[in-house]
Structure 1
Amino acid sequence: MELKLLQSTDITGGTFSLTLAGMFATAVLLFLGTGWVAKKWKLPVALAGVVALLATAYYWQAREVWLAAGQMPVIYRYIDWLITVPIQVLTLYFFIGAVARPPVGLFWRLLVVSVVMILARYMGEVDFMHPTLGFLIGIVGWLYILGEIYFGKLGEINSKSATETVQTGFFWLRLVVTVGWAIYPLCYFIASFAGGVDEGTLSIVYNLADFVNQILFGLIILFAAMKESASTR
């Protein structure tokens, strides 16, 4: 098998390699971190580690695809998102669940909405449904998730029952989901309605966004869990 080398001028390939290394390091750190936190914090930390591990597998494959073909078919990203995004949403659920257990029904609603959100975006982007419909369903799903973490039961538990450390951590997690995740509908809109953008530039944007949306997301959870665990010992 011919070895594909990363060229010095291949910025896109460089971001695939950079994010691959960052995801792997984050996964290792988070799984180690499950031993540094109290029992009730182990699940959200472990779930964040699973997200980083799955993203590592994606970036390994995506880097090889880019080096071999010089392109990144959209289906690769959506396979990753279809698994990692719902897990991240449920990580928020269990993060707050370490303070007070949210309703079980909310667990299933968040899971279903996050899966439908990703599927709708994919189907719209590849013309399995009208791009506008896929965009709108994706936006509605994202807004529902934001509503639950700001004004729903998760936000209520955070404001009424959580300690200052948990509230600060949840503030930053919400900021990631609000600002960081905005890149996905924005790029969808540009690709579908605003003339598109070349695959290399789009991949750079997505790859660097994952440093916030997946790596920083996991590190915030670990930091808050460690700080909260230390304060209760």
Structure 2
Amino acid sequence: MNLLTSLTVEIGKMATDDYVGFTFFVGCMAMMAAAAFFFLSMNSFDRKWRTSILVSGLITFIAAVHYWYMRDYWATFADSPTFFRYVDWVLTVPLMCVEFYLILKVAGAKKSLMWKLIFLSVVMLVTGYFGEAVYRDQAWLWGLISGLAYFAIVYIIWFGEAKKLAEKAGGAFLTAHKTLCWFVLVGWAIYPLGYMAGTPGWYEGWFSGLNMDVIYNIGDAVNKIGFGLVVYGLAVSATSASEA
């Protein structure tokens, strides 16, 4: 009862033009619903696909929990919950990299590929946090390092080892891989926009009309739920083909 009362009070405080608070609330509910969907659908698939669906559920569940806290933080302090956001990312983004490994195992993907992608994602996030929250006067430098790690991930999945494995797997695996690659190339590109909108640097003023948190919130919901749905679609296709 206390939780319901607290939630009602927080909603009551939300102004009609509080787009940050609105996107925090919608993002929390959307990712909570996605997590429930993925977890409840696990038993519908062959055992070899349950890990992939579980990871999709974990990604959206972890994000939903953090968004619950971030929404309350914003409602209380009207300040960007940068620390909570990066804690969320440092847990969920490596798991998104794990999804590449899991769907490419059929083509012989090795764990070294998974750890390479995880390492680059952690570098990308840690340096991004340094630039956004710790060394803001050098935000451009930390953003550059973060960007290099991001482009290294893009190269591996679009042109490198992961691309070759996807082509070897072919069919629905190649299609799913390409879709996930587009999420990384286009969907993840939203985050540098948010970074530049919220930090000082030579790019200051380019995105001054954009709200960093709104950009991040929309990007998180689209990318994390979208990633999971691509994996879910592949699991459905592969399971149907094996039963035919």
Tell me the distance in 2 between the aligned counterparts of 1:38 and 1:134: 43
What does residue 81 of structure 1 align with?
89
* 1:110 matched to 2:114: no
Query: Structure 2 counterpart of 1:80, which letter?
Result: D
Query: Structure 1 counterpart of 2:204, which letter?
Result: G
Give the C-alpha shift of residue 10 in structure 1.
2.4
Contact 1:71–1:199 (8 Å) recurs in 2 = no
What does residue 28 of structure 2 align with?
20
* 1:172 matched to 2:182: no
Choose between structure 1 and 2: higher helix proportion.
2
What does residue 216 of structure 2 align with?
206
* 1:225 matched to 2:235: yes
Tell me the distance in 2 between the aligned counterparts of 1:133 and 1:8: 37
Identical-pair percentage? 30
Query: Structure 2 counterpart of 1:167, which letter?
Result: L
Give the C-alpha shift of residue 199 in structure 1.
11
* 1:48 matched to 2:56: yes
What does residue 47 of structure 2 align with?
39
Query: Structure 2 counterpart of 1:158, which letter?
Result: A
* 1:137 matched to 2:145: yes
What does residue 191 of structure 1 align with?
198
Once the two structures are superposed, what CA deviation does each residue of 1:30-66 show, in whole Å capped at 9, x if it has no partner?
1122212222221121111100000000110011111
1:64 to 72, 83, 92: 72
Structure 1 stretches (4+) deviating beyond 4 angstroms? 196-200
Tell me the distance in 1 between the aligned counterparts of 2:226 and 2:89: 16
Tell me the distance in 2 between the aligned counterparts of 1:158 and 1:200: 37
TM (normalized to structure 2)? Answer: 0.87
Give the C-alpha shift of residue 191 in structure 1.
2.6
Give the C-alpha shift of residue 128 in structure 1.
3.2
Give the C-alpha shift of residue 200 in structure 1.
8.6
What does residue 11 of structure 1 align with?
19
Tell me the distance in 2 between the aligned counterparts of 1:132 and 1:70: 25
Contact 2:104–2:165 (8 Å) recurs in 1 = yes
Contact 1:117–1:142 (8 Å) recurs in 2 = yes
Once the two structures are superposed, what CA deviation does each residue of 1:178-209 show, in whole Å capped at 9, x if it has no partner?
10000112222333323366799221221111
Tell me the distance in 2 between the aligned counterparts of 1:14 and 1:159: 41
* 1:122 matched to 2:129: yes
Tell me the distance in 2 between the aligned counterparts of 1:90 and 1:207: 22
Tell me the distance in 2 between the aligned counterparts of 1:112 and 1:11: 34
Change (3 A) 1:199 1:83: farther
Contact 1:12–1:200 (8 Å) recurs in 2 = no
1:156 to 164, 177, 188: 164
Contact 1:44–1:92 (8 Å) recurs in 2 = no
Tell me the distance in 1 between the aligned counterparts of 2:209 and 2:33: 26
Number of residue equivalences = 231
